[in-house]
Amino acid sequence: MKIDIIDYDSCSAAGTNLTELRESLQHYRSGLIKNNIPGSTLDTWIGKVEQVDAITDLKQWQSRNNALAALGLEQGTLKQTLAGLLKKYGNTRVGLVMGSSTSSIDRTETAYTDLDEDANLKPQYQQPLVHNPHAPSLFVAHYTGIEGPSLTINTACSSSAKVFATAARWLEYGIVDAVLVGGVDTLCLSVLHGFNSLQLLSANPCKPFDQHRDGINLGEAAGFAILQRAGENPNGLGILLAGYGESSDAYHMSHPHPDGLGARHSMTQALHRAGLEANSIDYINLHGTSSRANDLIEGRLIADLFPSSTQCSSTKAWMGHTLGAAGITEAIITMDTLRTHFIPGSKNLEQLDDALNFSIQSSHKQRVCQHVMTNSFGFGGNNCTLLFSRAE
């Protein structure tokens, strides 16, 4: 079943909304800054959304993650589109699927560093709906009025790519009539220092697929899209979720399978579901984290599966690797090429890894695309590929 994308918007260090994101991409304007997270002295670059600091009025829902979700939902026409669907179908017939890695662990960190004199949580931190892996969906349902089924997916960096697949299945089986999908993750000490312990952080702005890449930069983001069954909304954007692929190779906790077996399966599955051959794909937004192993394995797979006519790029040098929000952030960049005819290049790519040979370059391209893909590969071998097509 084909699924219509009827609205979407993005909020990251590269732009508070889709309009700003487009401008940042076009002008090679990165949102990465030197790490300034309180309590951290790590020498690295981060993609921080500064506007989140001002959102302090969420009361019992207060956390940085929820604040970023709220900021993201205020962008573009998301609230108006959603309000129309809730009125048309009723609050219980609209579903919600969120992806996140951290949920609101930022708030939990703060709570445990600010205990009272008896080592108990202070009243303002006694938030069972916030110190909760399901917090993103609980909060967004509260914020939007959605009363249909809700789910929070945490499959590391593929979390908010998988939300599209789950939403598509819900729509296919008639569980709901529309779905709000989203992803939100925020910077916190656990994330920064956890990735540092894996020796994955770079002290330099990241350089995906470059011969001299030396690690990743982390960022934070919120992104949302609204899905319906194809043909049910005359005001759609002309963008279809035509296919998706999911796999879990479970090779290693943090290292991808050396032959990329799970990643290969997610890409071929997406093509099969869409009824397309590899040579039909005009553009792929790669997972491209700038780590030595991930980029090498993904690049070899792309060279093996796709012809040189398929253009590729990684966009993480604009906002960093936003973890559980990376999937939807890059899905939005990918599907937006079907509207703008603008394929972003790979920022900071100066010399392609000597071991790779595929169609990736630093410069942007103007091209009318018909079919585009995006990859999201997470820890534990949790992989997801999304394929978007221009509606006929």
Classify residue 61 by its DSSP letter: G
Strands 218-219 and 178-185, by their bridges, are: unpaired
Return the half-sphere exposure (C-beta side, CA atoms, 13 A cut-off) of residue 18. 23
How many Å apart are CA 27 and CA 17, to the nearest integer? 16
Q: What is the pLDDT of residues 308-352, one digit of tens each?
A: 999 999 999 999 999 999 999 999 999 999 999 999 999 999 999
What predicted TM-score, i.e. pTM, was given to this entire model?
Answer: 0.97
DSSP state of 377: E
Residue 252 annotated as catalytic: no
Please check whether residue 64 is in contact with residue 56, taking contact to mean a CB–CB distance below 8 angstroms. Answer: no
CA neighbor of 337 nearest in space, from 266, 285, 271, 290: 285
Tell me the residue length of the chain. Answer: 392
Instruction: Give 274-284 pLDDT, tens digit per residue.
Output: 999 999 999 99
| pLDDT > 90? residue 78 | yes
Residues 6+ apart with CB under 8 A from 72: 9, 10, 11, 182, 184, 221, 222, 223, 224
Closest CA to 151 of 129, 136, 161: 136
Percent of the chain with pLDDT over 70: 99
Each residue's pLDDT tens digit, 231-274? 888 878 999 999 999 998 887 766 777 788 889 999 999 999 99
Instruction: Convert the pLDDT of each residue in 107-147 to its tens digit.
Output: 999 999 999 999 999 999 999 999 999 999 999 999 999 99
pLDDT tens sequence across 10-36: 999 999 999 999 999 999 999 999 999
- Per-residue pLDDT, 254: 67
State the Cα–Cα distance between residues 259 and 209, nearest whole angstrom. 17
Q: Which of 287, 312, 369, 384 is catalytic?
A: 287
Domain limits of the chain?
Answer: 3-390
Q: Catalytic residue, from 11, 131, 157, 206: name it.
A: 157
Whether 229 contacts 1, CB under 8 Å: yes
Q: Per the residue annotation, which of 131, 257, 321, 371 is the catalytic one?
A: 321
Assess if CATH 3.40.50.2300 describes domain 3-390. no
- Cα–Cα distance for residue pair 162/140, rounded to 1 Å: 18
> What percentage of residues in the chain have a pLDDT greater than 90?
93
Question: Tokens standing for 265?
Answer: 């399966």
Q: How far apart are CA 219 and CA 21, in angstroms?
A: 14
155-165 as b/e, with b when 16 or more CB fall inside 10 Å? bbbbbbbbbbb
Q: Residue 124 in 3-state DSSP? A: helix
pLDDT value at residue 247:
94
| Contact by Cβ (8 Å): 345, 362 | yes
Residue 379, pLDDT above cutoff 90: no
* pLDDT band of 85, cuts 50, 70, 90: very high
Whether 265 is catalytic = no
257 annotated active-site: no
Cα separation values, 324 from 85, 87, 166, 268, Å: 26, 30, 15, 23
In degrees, rounded to 5, the angle at the alpha carbon of residue 35 between the alpha carbons of residues 64 and 65 is 10
pLDDT range class, residue 378, cuts 50, 70, 90: confident
